[in-house]
Structure 1
Amino acid sequence: MTDQPDLRPGEIRAADNSSSSVVDLKEYRQSKDPLPVTFHRRELDAILWIYGRMVGEGEWRDYAIDHLKDRAVFSVFKRSGEIPLFRIEKNPKLAAKQGAFSVINTNGTILKRGHELQQVLKVFNKTLKLVEK
Structure 2
Amino acid sequence: MRTQALTQPPRKRPEPVAFTRSELTRILAVYGYFVAAGEWRDYGIDHMRDAAVFSIFRRASELPIYRIEKRPSLAKKQGAWVVVSMTGAIVKRGHDLAQVLKVFDRQKLKLAT
- TM-score between the two structures when normalised by the length of structure 2: 0.88
Size of the aligned set, in residue pairs, is 107
Q: 1:114 and 2:100 equivalent?
A: no
What SS is found at the alignment partner of 1:53? helix
Runs (5+) with no aligned partner, structure 2:
109-113
- TM-score between the two structures when normalised by the length of structure 1: 0.76
C-alpha separation between the residues in 1 aligned to 2:3 and 2:85?
57
User: 1:76-127 deviations in whole A, cap 9, x for unaligned?
Assistant: 0000010000000000111001100000000000000000000000000113
Match of 1:125 in 2: 105
Counterpart selection for 1:62 from 20, 35, 42: 42
Q: 1:84 and 2:64 equivalent?
A: yes
Stretches (4+) displaced over 2 A: 20-23
| Aligned amino acid, residue 61 of structure 2 | G
Identity across matched positions, percent: 52
What SS is found at the alignment partner of 2:28? helix
Runs (5+) with no aligned partner, structure 1:
1-15, 129-133
Match of 2:111 in 1: none
Specify which structure has the bigger relative contact order, considering alpha-carbon pairs within 8 angstroms and separated by 6 or more residues.
Answer: 2
C-alpha separation between the residues in 2 aligned to 1:91 and 1:46?
17
C-alpha separation between the residues in 2 aligned to 1:17 and 1:56?
70
Q: 1:19 and 2:43 equivalent?
A: no
RMSD of Structure 2 on Structure 1 (CA): 1.6
